[in-house]
Amino acid sequence: MTIGIPYPAACIRRTPLGRSGLVSVSCILYLASIAAGAAAQNPPLTAADWQRVLQNGSVEEKIRAAQTLADLQSVEAIPALGAALDDREPKVRFHVIRALGTIQDPAVEPFLGKALLDVDRDNRVEAYRYVLAYYLGTPVPTVLQQVLPLLFRPPRAERVPWKRVHPAVVDAFRQWVRSKDARWTSMAVQAVGRLWVFELAPDLVQLLSEPQPKDVVLGAFWSLGQIRACSALSRLLSWWQAPDTDVLERAVWALAQCHREIPTLGETLWKAYQAERKPERQQIYFRGLAYIGYGPAASVFLQGLMSPSAEIRRYAAEGLGRLGKSENAEAVGRAYLQEEDPAVRLAMDFALFRMGRPDHDVGFVRTLQQDDEARTAQLASYVTEYATDILPALFRYMDRLDAGTRRRLVRLAAYAEDPAVLPLLEKYLDSPDESLAAAAFEAIKAVRQVARLRASTPASQ
């Protein structure tokens, strides 16, 4: 045994075979007293000590100092870490960025903005990852995860930022948006939607007024739709005729998120649908009309219920559901009895529920019991739109559900955007089921975060 200090040979007994045996209690006490004396002579470094190392140490020592201050969650070290962003060594700045992104305190935010403008390319990417993690309250995303939000998905499909983004971070992303390097532009465009950076919506409109790579265009429309930047989107109405079908689909989806604020959108899409001769583009306009629930298209939705395409049947049912006219319930009910596709059946449950058939909330419950991720996301999109109708109906079943389904229902409520649903959740904060209480707490926090973010949106956005 080696501990770095001398000790008497008598402390170790020898067995007949000559191997080390047990250490006596008195010997342990002796060795402990020696170690305590050494520790007293060399006490552990404090946060203040590590800050001095960060300022004056070697490259390796500075890196260790940054790592240690992150482990200590040292709020008082934030100014020193911020100053270290000017260190000439990129490796030091890399670990300083990680440290700042790890400390959950608002004082780090202006420095995160500065880190996004680091001269080193790898450091800027690292800052981007930690900025996402900081504001979303999630683990640091992998490189793959940070470029995935361009997948088509309903609004509110991921975590909501816990606060508005700091002006220094906004300004850094604005410089990225205006960068001539498409990589930084694309990443900044995605950040607008992921972090709800409403302030940059006009910058995205300006971006789309000029030729851009396809991924930038897709990302811009995804972000504008995600945060429902309706004032900005109203200036992009002409994109309903985009020649590229992927861009057209994304533009129509984004515009549809603001159909109440863009009163001419329904008529525009309806005319485009009637005039279009290419089936693929006509289906995109059809989906746009379904997102809106456009009244004059009801006959087309009814025909769509009989389509051989499950996707068309689903959107037809959703369009009729958003329209919510009880006179269409009989036709949807007949189609429902023949339907086998689970996504379409859920859409028809939604439609019939909206048409005054409350017994179809059982279909929502069944979806939660099956714990199917895709169907739960589909149901979440309905909750985002109609939380005050759907959630009270579902919470009536709480006492009859198993523990797992109860937790999934509470998590589903996190997609609501109306604080009126909060009383449904608050009663479960004191649940003896700790997992259920935790889920209720997180759902309440998410609903309040969305309400706060929406309320703080500048009117011009």
Residue 145: pLDDT band by 50, 70, 90 thresholds?
Answer: very low
Alpha carbon distances (Å) from 376 to 22, 137, 406, 459: 60, 22, 13, 33
Task: State which amino acid sits at residue 109.
Answer: E
Say if residues 330 and 319 touch (Cβ distance below 8 Å): no
Q: What percentage of the chain exceeds 90 in pLDDT? A: 75
HSE (side-chain half, CA atoms, 13 Å) at 38:
10
Question: With 50 as the cut, is the pLDDT of residue 209 above it?
Answer: yes
Handedness of CA 429, 433, 438, 440 (dihedral sign): negative
Average pLDDT of 98-119? 95
Give the list of residues 6+ apart from residue 438 with CB closer than 8 angstroms, or none: none
Report the pLDDT value the prediction gives residue 7, as an integer from 0 to 100: 42
Helix (H) or strand (E) holding 425: helix 422-426
Report the pLDDT value the prediction gives residue 37, as an integer from 0 to 100: 57
Residue 154: pLDDT band by 50, 70, 90 thresholds?
Answer: very low
Residue 327: pLDDT band by 50, 70, 90 thresholds?
Answer: very high
Q: Domain spanning 52-147 has what CATH number?
A: 1.25.10.10
Say if residues 170 and 200 touch (Cβ distance below 8 Å): yes
Smallest CA-to-CA distance from 91 within 129, 133, 52, 62 is with 62
Q: At residue 23, what are phi and psi to the nearest 5 degrees? A: -90, 130
- Alpha carbon dihedral 241, 245, 251, 257, in 10-degree steps, equals 110
What is the per-residue DSSP string for 118-184? Answer: -SSHHHHHHHHHHHHHHHHTSPPPPTTGGG-TTS---TT-SPPPSSPPPHHHHHHHHHHHT-S-HHH
Say if residues 51 and 77 touch (Cβ distance below 8 Å): yes
SS3 13: strand
Say if residues 169 and 116 touch (Cβ distance below 8 Å): yes
Alpha carbon distances (Å) from 58 to 92, 95, 428: 10, 14, 53
Report the pLDDT value the prediction gives residue 45, as an integer from 0 to 100: 80
In eight-state DSSP terms, residue 308 is S
Report the pLDDT value the prediction gives residue 452, as an integer from 0 to 100: 87
| Average pLDDT taken over every residue of the chain | 87
Q: What percentage of the chain exceeds 70 in pLDDT? A: 85
Smallest CA-to-CA distance from 166 within 105, 119, 113 is with 113
CA-angle at 227, arms to 222 and 229, nearest 5°: 95
CA distance 181 to 185: 6
Residue 43: pLDDT band by 50, 70, 90 thresholds?
Answer: low
| Burial classification of residue 307, based on how many CB atoms lie within 10 Å of its CB (0-12 exposed, 13-18 middle, 19 or more buried) | middle
pLDDT digits (tens, 9 = 90+) for 336-393: 999 999 999 999 999 999 999 988 999 999 999 998 889 999 999 999 999 999 999 9
* Domain boundaries defined on the chain: 9-43, 52-147
